[in-house]
């Protein structure tokens, strides 16, 4: 397999191509399970050669399957770089979080989902991690890809409907504010935000549209 980008999306350290990493992964994985198969035999009752060969073939198939997933995860990470995704946080205990932190990762611990843009990826312990925002998430934790074109079209449609309109909106303290909408954008959670009188207001907090402000 030929690649044109490094496995790690980080600018630190020397880059490693996915070809080198996956080849080392495949060899190391197969040798490990083959050694375990041989050393775990009972020396007083050694397996027959045919049975041992059969077990070796099954182990090789397992190693190839694992390698194929790893290679697919690399391609998946390459395709996702630059895209906006929704990812699941990791349910980790303090020791698990510390172990990942010691390996240079910044895991996001919890049970919620986070939405952001994939800015890079790296491989740690044969697992592909995506960098989304300031955290690293396993590639398997991606739950949804949010197409940018759809967001841009939706934003343009809402801008046509809202720009220049007077709105009444609720504030955090429960009071009401009002003013003219001057711009629209998304926040880091991809919620639609309105600029009203120099204040950013979530669209979901708008109570009335087209009301003349005082």
> pLDDT, tens digit, for every residue of 31-40?
666 666 666 6
- Check pLDDT > 80 for residue 48: no
Residue 154 has what pLDDT? 73
Mean per-residue pLDDT of the chain: 76
| Residue 145: pLDDT band with limits 50, 70, 90 | confident
Tokens 């020397």 belong to which residue? 14
Tell me which fold the domain 149-209 belongs to.
SH3 type barrels. (2.30.30)
For residue 122, give the 3-state DSSP assignment.
Answer: strand
The three-class DSSP label of residue 1 is coil
pLDDT one-digit tens code per residue, 62-72 = 666 677 777 88
Range(s) within the chain of domains with CATH label 2.30.30.30: 149-209
**pLDDT the model gives residue 87:** 93
* Sign, Cα dihedral of 169, 171, 177, 179: negative
Query: Is 50 exceeded by the pLDDT of residue 7?
Result: no
- pTM value? 0.49
Give residue 162's pLDDT: 85
Give the model's pLDDT for residue 126.
83
Percent of the chain beyond pLDDT 90?
29
Decide if 29 contacts 63 (C-beta within 8 A): yes
> In this predicted structure, which of 13-17, 30-34, 44-48, 94-98 has the lowest mean pLDDT?
13-17
> DSSP 3-state helix, strand, coil percentages of the chain (rounded to 5)?
40, 30, 30
């Amino acid at each position: 397999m030929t690649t044109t980008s490094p496995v790690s999306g980080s600018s630190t350290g020397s880059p490693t191509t996915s070809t080198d990493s996956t080849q080392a992964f495949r060899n190391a994985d197969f040798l490990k399970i083959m050694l375990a198969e041989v050393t775990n035999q009972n020396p007083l009752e050694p397996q027959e050669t045919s049975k041992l060969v059969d077990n070796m073939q099954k182990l090789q198939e397992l190693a190839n399957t694992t390698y194929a997933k790893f290679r697919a995860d690399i391609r998946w990470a390459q395709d996702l770089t630059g895209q906006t995704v929704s990812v699941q946080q990791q349910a980790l205990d303090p020791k698990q979080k510390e172990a990942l932190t010691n390996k240079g990762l910044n895991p996001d611990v919890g049970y919620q989902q986070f939405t952001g843009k994939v800015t890079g990826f790296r491989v740690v312990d044969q697992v592909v991690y995506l960098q989304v925002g300031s955290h690293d998430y396993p590639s398997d934790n991606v739950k949804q890809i949010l197409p940018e074109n759809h967001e841009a079209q939706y934003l343009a449609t809402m801008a046509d409907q809202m720009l220049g309109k007077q709105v009444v909106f609720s504030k955090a303290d429960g009071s009401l504010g009002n003013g003219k909408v001057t711009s629209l954008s998304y926040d880091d959670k991809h919620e639609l935000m309105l600029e009203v009188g120099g204040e950013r207001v979530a669209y979901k907090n708008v109570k009335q549209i087209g009301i003349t402000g005082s």
